[in-house]
Structure 1
Amino acid sequence: MSRMPLVEPQALPPYLKAIYDATPEDNWIGRHFAQAFAPNPDLVQAYQAFYTPWHTGGAGVLEPRLKELVRLRIATLNGCVLCKTVRMAPDVVAEDEAASGVDDADNASFTPRERAAIHFAEKMALDHHNIGDDDVAAMRRHFTDAEFLELAMMTGQYIGFGRVLAMLQLEVAACPI
């Protein structure tokens, strides 16, 4: 069961009601997101004002596919079912790649740059205290300084918000029938 009360749809604040209404009926996890954050809709709106332009809105210097691959890998590592089921960039990441959770960073279908980003994301999520100068130097062979900073920031926010969503257990619910 969700660790936050799920507010009835008709009682949702307008911003969250719009999210709820735009979410397909069979995507109850996405709907639970809108319902669970009803006590603080400004928080979601402010977060999405940052997240959406940088992840899917074309802001930044990293290509959308790379960001989506990293996001999907973090979703798997965080155990966030909501993050793993949402397709933020279906036009640039194939469904089979998305469904796999990018479990094999060394898959030949990934470019060397994508592999480096996925490995970096894994280390950020699992062993960030041991990212050393050699790791950063290896990343800088694939990324400009601006790209590396964006990758680090996006990876950090994927980790943090994904862990919040996993902790809230929005995907765990009683059957509505």
Structure 2
Amino acid sequence: MPNIHIPDHAMADPLGYALTRHSPVIGRAAGEFVKSVYQSVRLPLRLAEAARYRIAQINGCLVCKGFRAADHLDGYLDAVGGDPTTSLVARGGERPDEAFYDAIDDWKTSPLLNDRERLAVDLAERMAFSPNELGYDEEFWAKMRAAFDDAEIADLTLAIGMWMAMGRFTHALGLDTVCLPTSAAA
């Protein structure tokens, strides 16, 4: 049940209703941020999905946990006026399977994740749980700079910030209990 008023006719897309009707200016900017991340992030699909899914777990967002970029992203972008031909999925890369998503629980030791994917999940956790320490952890940043270029680090950090914000907004307002992954800005 949503924690803000969503009329019955809008229950198929309560997030879209909340963004466009309850907060149209900020909601429009949030929607553009979501589209920008998914259309412009310069990372492999599996790497982005590793970080996104860990944030979904941390946020507790039900729709975000059910979202699979390889299956849902292009439909979402098409529905919100984005360009699926430029999406993270359209750029290719190995599609994560369900074993990959299950491995996120044991990301530190799972052989299903590579070193860069582990670092992406580590960054996601640090941003969610210990942002104050993160900026000063020279050892962690040395590992990041060895594995990623500056543009990739910036893209990944912005993407994680978007996933944190949108997933928390969706979950806190109870919008994740009624919308479907194909219509969500996960």
TM-score interval for Structure 1 and Structure 2 normalised by the shorter chain? 0.7 to 0.9
TM-superposed CA distance for 1:54, in Å, is 2.2
Q: Cα deviations across residues 1-43 of structure 1 (Å, max 9, x unaligned)?
A: 211111232xx6xxxxxxx8xxxxxxx5xx3323433323454
Compute the RMSD of aligned alpha carbons: 2.3
**Equivalent residue, structure 2, for 1:33:** 15
Q: Distance in 2 between matches of 1:119 and 1:152?
A: 11
Question: Structure 2: where are the runs of 5+ without partners?
Answer: 72-88, 90-94, 179-186
Residue 62 (structure 2) aligns with: 81
Query: 1:6 maps to which residue?
Result: 6
Compare relative contact order (CA 8 Å, sep 6+) and give the higher one, 1 or 2: 2
CA distance in 2, matches of 1:105, 1:87: 18
Structure with the higher fraction of residues in helix conformation: 2
Match of 1:116 among 115, 119, 127: 119
How far apart are residue 117 of structure 1 and its match? Answer: 0.8
Q: Say if 2:100 and 2:112, in contact at 8 Å, map to a contact too.
A: no
Q: Cα offset for 1:113?
A: 0.7
Q: Which residue of 1 aligns with 2:31?
A: 48
Q: Is the 8 A contact 1:139 1:148 kept in 2?
A: yes
| Aligned-partner residue type, residue 6 of structure 2 | L
Letter of the 2:18 counterpart: A
Match of 1:72 among 42, 53, 57: 53
Worse-superposed segment, 33-42 or 81-90: 33-42
Distance in 1 separating the partners of 2:68 and 2:168 = 18
> Does the Cα contact within 8 Å between 2:41 and 2:159 map onto a contact in 1?
no
Long gaps (5+) in structure 1: 13-19, 21-27
Q: How many residues align?
A: 152
Which position in structure 2 is the counterpart of 1:152? 157
Q: Is the 8 A contact 1:73 1:101 kept in 2?
A: no
Percentage identity across paired residues of the two chains: 29
CA distance in 1, matches of 2:177, 2:157: 30
